[in-house]
Amino acid sequence: MALQNYRVYIALSLAAIGLQVFTTAAEARIYTGVVTRVTDGDTFWIRTSVQGEPRKVRFQGIDAPESCQAWGKQATAALTQRVKFKTVQLNTSASDDYGRILATVTLDGGDVGRWMVVNGHAWSYHYLRNRGPYATEETQAKASGRGLWSRSAIEPREFRKRHGACPRAASRRHLVRY
């Protein structure tokens, strides 16, 4: 009981000074919230019922084209149409090096990452010899010539090696988040 009270005290203390404890690597958590903004084909902002401020989320298991890369704008538009201002569910157990929540995302019971790959808007996230969680869906999209597979496609990791990161958009300080 004392350990549980101590954990509650620590969590509340951190929240009080502005640090948000969202998840730990040891335990998966499920959150529900409304998508407030889509940054690109694999990153968006969500406002959960647990927190007042929107948090940045990166899809776990997919890699969408960079915004300045071929099919980047179409991938962003597809994700925007699919999830913006809608209630989604996050299943998360980690954050990345940039502080983004890594999550599997569902909308009305369907896996949004899978939908992005099936429709040719993203790759299954490959690492070394692991073809990723949506390898079958990627193979089908490629065979059908859907989305980014309708042209010569370069994985984002390779694109960044060749061309560097996309230039940052103009400052967004004038935009109001809601």
**Active site amino acids:** 58, 66, 100
Query: Could you tell me the CA-to-CA distances from 31 to 85, 106, 114, 129, 177 in Å, in that order?
Result: 16, 10, 19, 31, 20
Structure tokens of 141? 């999209």
C-alpha R_g of the chain: 18
Residue 71: HSE in the Cβ half-sphere, 13 Å Cα cutoff = 24
Q: SS3 letters for 69-86?
A: CCCHHHHHHHHHHHHCCC
